[in-house]
């Protein structure tokens, strides 16, 4: 099942994105997200700890749907899937990356930030995509403007999304969920404040859901 469709049917409006410096933080983090009602986690492949973090969550927190973000190469696709990533997210989309994602066997959200990039994905039969960097690329107004000409595309806006701006995206007909680091921000991770993550997750989980697939 495509990722946004799965999150929508599970009533999960927010995809938490994390940059982890220490793989040992992954399991308590994932448990805090699950406890707060967000049973999903995107671990970005930006740190040496990322693959170990994905492996640990996949093995120890089965309730948490763990995936890899910042997947920008064929190597990233292969490493993430081997580590147990159950979905893949990329800030962009190239033919090589899309071919690798097609072969990965897991749901993928390749990234776009323009109408032409979205049309290129629709041409390939890809209907679910990340809109990145959402705030800088035009925010809810830009996505709202794509809904008319490209009604079949479903977006996960990410990049600069906050607890305050999330509802403006989630109210759009072409947004399935929103992604961001505000649920587990760097300062909270540095303090290993899992109770804080749980309460941020609970607030995020209570946002009104996005559009159906």
Q: How many residues bind ligand 3PG (CB under 6 A)?
A: 12
Cβ closest to ligand 3PG, residue 91 vs residue 209: 91
Distance of CA 44 to CAs 55, 109, 148, 169, 202, Å? 13, 13, 32, 22, 22
In the region spanning residues 19 to 58, those forming contacts with ligand 3PG, defined by CB under 6 A, are 44
65 touches 49 (CB < 8 A): no
Provide φ and ψ at 47, rounded to 5°.
Answer: -130, 155
With binding defined as CB under 6 A, does residue 90 bind ligand 3PG? no
Cβ-in-10-Å burial (0-12, 13-18, 19+) of 146 comes to: buried
**Residue 42 among the catalytic residues:** yes
143 touches 166 (CB < 8 A): no
In the region spanning residues 57 to 76, those forming contacts with ligand 3PG, defined by CB under 6 A, are 69-70
**How far is the C-alpha of 9 from the C-alpha of 158, rounded, in Å?**
20
**Residue 164 among the catalytic residues:** no
User: Which one from 130, 152, 164, 198 is the annotated catalytic residue?
Assistant: 130
DSSP 7: H
In the region spanning residues 155 to 174, those forming contacts with ligand 3PG, defined by CB under 6 A, are 158-161
Minimum CB–partner distance for residue 58 and ligand 3PG (Å): 20
- Kindly state the greatest CA–CA separation across the chain: 45
With binding defined as CB under 6 A, does residue 93 bind ligand 3PG? no
Q: Using CB under 6 A, pick the residue from 4, 12, 17, 65 that binds ligand 3PG.
A: 17
Q: Which tokens hold the place of 123?
A: 């041409």
Cβ closest to ligand 3PG, residue 17 vs residue 30: 17
> Which residue ranges make up the site for ligand 3PG (CB under 6 A)?
17, 44, 69-70, 132, 158-161, 179-181
* Residues annotated as catalytic (active site), given as ranges: 42, 130
């Amino acid at each position: 099942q495509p990722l946004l469709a799965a999150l929508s049917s599970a009533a999960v409006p927010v995809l938490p994105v994390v940059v982890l410096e220490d793989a040992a933080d992954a399991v308590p983090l994932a448990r805090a997200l699950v406890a707060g009602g967000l049973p999903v986690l995107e671990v970005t492949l930006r740190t040496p700890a990322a693959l170990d973090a994905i492996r640990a969550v996949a093995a120890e927190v089965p309730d948490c749907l763990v995936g890899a973000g910042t997947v920008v190469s064929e190597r990233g696709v292969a490493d993430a899937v081997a580590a147990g990533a159950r979905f893949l997210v990329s800030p962009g989309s190239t033919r090589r990356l899309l071919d690798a994602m097609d072969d990965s066997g897991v749901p993928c959200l390749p990234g776009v930030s323009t109408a032409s990039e979205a049309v290129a994905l629709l041409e390939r039969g890809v209907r679910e995509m990340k809109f990145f960097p959402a705030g800088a690329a035009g925010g809810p107004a830009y996505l709202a403007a794509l809904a008319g000409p490209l009604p079949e595309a479903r977006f996960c806006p990410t990049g600069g999304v906050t607890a305050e701006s999330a509802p403006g995206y989630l109210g759009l007909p072409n947004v399935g969920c929103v992604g961001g680091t505000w649920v587990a921000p760097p300062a909270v991770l540095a303090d290993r404040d899992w109770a804080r993550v749980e309460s941020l997750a609970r607030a995020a989980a209570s946002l009104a859901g996005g559009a159906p697939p």
